[in-house]
Structure 1
Amino acid sequence: MEGLTKSVGKVSNSSRLDGDKQCLDFRRVADTVPGCILVADADGKALYANKRFVAALGRSLEELLGEGWLESVEPAFLEEARAKWYDCIRTQVHLDVTWRFRVHDGTYRWQHLRAEPSSHEESDDACWYLLGVDVDEQFRAQEALQASEREAREILDRVPAMISIRTEEGVSYTNKRLSDYVGAVITDLWDGTFLDCIHPDDRYAVVAEYIRSPNQKPIEIIYRLRGRDGTCRWFHTRAEPYFNENGNVYRWYALNSNIDDLYRSRELLREREHQLNLLTETLPAILWKADLNGQITYINKKAIEYSGRTIEEIQEKGWIDLIHPDDVVEMVAVWNELLAAGEGYDIVSRFMCADGQYRWFHTSAGVIRDEAGNRIAFHGIMLDTTPLKAAEMALQQSEQEMQRFMDTVPTIIWSMSPDGNAAFVNKAGRELTGASLEDVQNGKWIEYLHPEDRELVSQEIAKALATGNSYGAAYRLQIQDGTCHWFLSRAEPSRDNHGNIVRWFGVTLDIHDRKVAEDRLRELRANLSRTSRASIVVEISASIAHELNQPLSSLLSNAQACFRWLNAATPHIENAITSIERVVRDSRAADAAIRNIRSLYKQQPTVKASFNMVELLGEVIGLLKEDASRRSTPIEYEFEDPVLEVLVDRYQIQQIIINLVTNAIDAMQDIDRQPLLRIRIRNAEGGRVLTEFIDNGHGLPDDRADRIFDAFVSTKENGMGIGLAISRSIVEAHDGELWAANNPRFGATFSLLLKGSRASQG
């Protein structure tokens, strides 16, 4: 008690009894405290230890006093403990340590010690009060926990995955695999260490959806994480929250999986699927797939656009009703055969589209098999062949029309092979001669030629075959009634892209009337030559030649044009028909010319009718334009009324117009200005119609201006001088007038005044 009394403080003799009582109370209280209590003086020497301390260490109180209590510290920490204790004594800093002490049973247990100095208020002496609490079980539990944590971390470091732990303060743990991947131990989230490892394009999503997300449910996110080699790879992170006792998220445990190969493969697969889907959806064809029961399981976008039905509507309504009624039987038959055991089919049929119209489709269907060769589905493609079918039908129709054309055209059309064998002759040729197509192909056609002309025709054909040049010959052909008519045949070779002749195409024109006319003309000339009126014979012969020259030249030009149209790589049927029609027209014109000449010669009265002068002029100009030598001269028209009726003989007036227009065009040759012929038609006094032909050529010579309408007077170097004379005589026979005058500057004007139809009626 004496030591404890000293430790409590120095007291006066009068208070000794009170101090003893205080010491006794302190000891009583100290012994009841559930902990070890030690009292030391200012030098750190123990003055007192309570019963619990004595019992815990298993030593007597006397053994613990002074420095004795320190000797119970585990030897390994004794020197460190003694130094720590006296350093606190010296610096007057409180002690807060956990040391291991040897206890009564000889084992060592952990004690948590706290000591603080205290000075007595009535003296300056200080003493130390030390409180020790046995924390051995807690300490050992903590060590076990730490050991368990170390073991867990070792396990996590060996797990073939990247693991991290995140708290509100940041990333508190990354296993070795994750640290090795990024090349560092990520310890802080907010200073940017972790975010620097994330691809810049993915940082916002990681922060928004993971780091700062208010969501307390498991989180999955895919992003790119940069490795130590600088390469960013795709990672999949799945984080699970760990809640504390208050229900708040305390930690996030995350499993980070490297899915770069898988992700890139998936992206590649997705891209391929996208390209395949893009192909199937944009392919200009219908694609479909059906199961083994025939149920349609897939159609592409084009199928929906064509049919106007979705896949659900196809599965509900079917597709048989879309087939054209004429094609249903055949289509259903091949479909059922495919479902039964067929390998596929190709068929062309018509299907109704969304607009209600039928279109032609070429369908190819096949079987899909697995690796074992078992049938698992059917697939097909349907191509819209409507334009092709239309072209095919148009070609067939064109061939039929061409066949009809060749059979209905009033001219013989024929063809022969490159070696000269006859291949075809149209209906007109067969009916005219009475020969069959087989007779023609067997070479019997030559028997229908006049015996005197067979050698000539054979020689001309042989010459054309040898040289490849155009063929032409005039000969007599025996027709069905047994008589022989004159015909003109012309043919052109048709060549391939290499210039080889693949076929000869020809046309045979009936020139019998022309030949007869020529014979009559020759006979007429012979008769006239036997007379003494030589001048009249010359004038009549020249007139006949002049009248026949234009229609016969046009007839030959149009016949040649017909050959060219039929000889083209793709025959121009419409143009050929037009040329044939012009041949017929020119033949009729020649015949009319002959009749007109005959009537003039016999002094027969002229047959007149009402005609539109504008139309007569248009027909003549169209005829003259077919002559290439006159095609380039521009012609302008001026007329007051589109219908200006005159009472005339059509062919005679057209011959006059031909003569006047031809003379005007010839007069504008070799001039130093742009040739121009203006034709003006207008009403004149007395109900008559005036037509003026105004050119800008050389004009009329002064010495012959008054005599150009006389016979054998011409302004041309090689002219005969009878055209204008005949023209005036024809006009005067129509009670009309024809005169000419020079223009003020250039050229001349020929005026034709005819009686109008209304004036005649009045």
Structure 2
Amino acid sequence: MAEYSNNNGRLTARYRINESLLNNLPGMVYRCANDLPWTMKFVSAGCEALTGYKAEFIESSQLGWSSFILPDDLHVTRVTVNTALVAGEQFDVQYRITDKSGRQKWVREQGTGIYGSDGTVEAIEGYIDDITPLKTAVRALARSEAWYEEKIRPELRRQREQLAHADRLHTLGEMATGIAHEINQPLAAISLFAQAGRLLLEAGDYAKLTGVFDKLSKHAHRAGAIVERMQDMARSQERARQLVDLNVLVGGVVELAEIDAQANNVAIEVTSGQDLPHVQVDTVQIQQVILNLLRNGLDAMRSIHFGNGRTIQLVTQQSASSFLQVDVIDSGCGVSSDIADKIFESFSTSKVTGLGMGLPISKAIVVAHGGQLMFRNNEEGGATFSMILPVAATGDQGE
């Protein structure tokens, strides 16, 4: 008798604990019939907060659970539940209900079938929770993301382009003396050949005029090409991205950078990867990055003396199946440890002059193109800066 009393006490305590747990859950635990209206056989006390009805009313079979579900959601919900029951799997479905006050709520239902010995579904048991606050938060987040895309991102892009444009103008200003000298050379040649042509014309030596005109055209084209590259660098408007050969892009930059390189007795050695896929980029911005890296390398080597001359290497290659890499390798003093961690931060520079914006702007440009900009110090001295860009989509590669 005592043992029976103890067992009964334990069962009562366990029942009380289970009931307390069920009643304190924020959602509704249920057991319902596998019929068309989903008639509820048991619901926990959380049903009142969820639906506005007390448990006794819902369990009285006056309202089946399907009557709470919005008509637009009922069919999909029923298909999801029935498919899981037939497969003997648990189901997890979200839908909308209307509570007693007429307010719509989003709920998440997770449940499973209770099967008889013959495999038929005798009942469904599960848990239904109010996820309206979550849905509201998701919608608010979506609205804020849409607002960001519409208002903030274009402004950030505009400001980044303004900074990049300012950096290009600053670079052109620093290179102005060398560029002027580079333009004066073909202009002086044009003047000389024009005088020679006039003398030949006066002497009636027409046979030699063709050669003179060819040389005039060559030097005029050279001067025009330099001016055109300067104009491209100086333009402020954002350009559409173009499908380009990275080696051709690099070649155009080297022609500009060689002006500085020759003035500092530095040779630029280019190693071009073969049969590289194209990239789709803003050509001026990417040329700006390469020019910045080359000029930084030249600056780093300015105070270094080498018996056999000084060389900065520029290498293009395919670093992975979907990425191309441009390495600028100098033999200067490397990147000091005190600025290595912040070298891509604004106003971080080891130069006596300059704003320290070149590398941060360069990194922002590369990242905006889906790439990376990184560096490492070389074991033999100097540093290697690597720009990695994604190749253009296969369908854009052309023939």
Larger Cα-atom Rg: 1
Q: Which has the higher helix share?
A: 2
Q: Which has the higher contact order (CA 8 A, sep 6+)?
A: 2
Bigger strand share: 1
